Amino acid sequence: MEEIKSIQDYESRIKRVIVTEDQIKEEIKKAGKWIDGIYDGKPILLVSILKGAFVFMADLCRAVSVPCEIGFMCAKSYYQGTVSTGIVNITMDLEQDVSSYHIVIVEDIVDTGRTLNDVVKLLKARKPLSLHVVTLLDKPSRRVVEFKPDYSLFTIPDYFVIGYGLDCGEYYRNLPYIAEYNA
C-alpha cells in the first residue's frame, strides 16, 4: 500500500460503499436475536478478536437481551508459507474461564478461514458449554481452510474491504459503513 499523504488521497481510496450503516443496523438486530436464542440459563460470553471486530462487538452486544459478558483476545496464527503450523499465538488472552459459558466468537471477517479455525480449536480445548461463531462478513470464495461460521451477516465477493472496524494499513477502521478499497 502506498503511503497516504493527504485527505484527498485518503478519500480517493474509498472506492464505493458496499454495506450501508442502515443495512448493518438492520442485520445486527437479527443477529442479536439469534444470540438470545442460545441462552439456556447459563451466561453467554461474547468474545471479540481484536482489533478488527471492536466496532461490530460494540454494536452487536447492545442488540443482545440475555445475560452476557464481554471478553477480548488478540490472536496471531503462524504459517509456513501458506500452510498453517497449527500454532496460535495469543498476544492477549481472555480473562474468563470459558468452561462455565456459552461462547460466541464475534469476528469481523472470515477470509481464508485460518484465524478462526485456529481460535476455535484453541477455545474448544478449554471445554466451553458451547461455541458459536458470528461474523459480520464472509468471503467464502477466498477460503483456504474449510470453515463455516454459524451466523454471517453479509456474504461478499472477493473485494478488499475497509470500514466498520476493518482497516487497510490501520486506517479506515472508523468509517461507519463498509466500503471497497481502491488499491
Catalytic residues: 111
Residue 31 in 3-state DSSP?
A: helix
Specify which residues 46 forms β-bridges with: 70, 104
Question: What span, in angstroms and rounded, lies between the C-alpha atoms of 34 and 44?
Answer: 12
Pick the stretch among 15-23, 26-34, 67-75, 158-166 that binds ligand IMP (CB under 6 A): 158-166
Which backbone phi and psi does 155 adopt, to 5 degrees? -100, 130
The radius of gyration computed from the CA coordinates of the chain, to the nearest angstrom, equals 17
Give how many residues touch ligand IMP by CB under 6 A: 12
Binding ligand IMP by CB under 6 A: which of 19, 24, 52, 104? Answer: 52
Binding Mg ion by CB under 5 A: which of 13, 19, 45, 52? Answer: 52
* Cβ proximity of 129 and 160 under 8 Å: no
State yes or no: residue 35 binds ligand IMP (CB under 6 A).
Answer: no
Binding ligand IMP by CB under 6 A: which of 24, 111, 136, 163? Answer: 111
Pick the stretch among 3-11, 13-21, 92-100, 108-116 that binds ligand IMP (CB under 6 A): 108-116
Residue 149, CB-side half-sphere exposure with 13 Å CA sphere: 28
Kindly list the residues in this chain that would bind ligand IMP in the complex (CB under 6 A).
52, 108-115, 160-161, 166
Kindly list the residues in this chain that would bind Mg ion in the complex (CB under 5 A).
52, 108
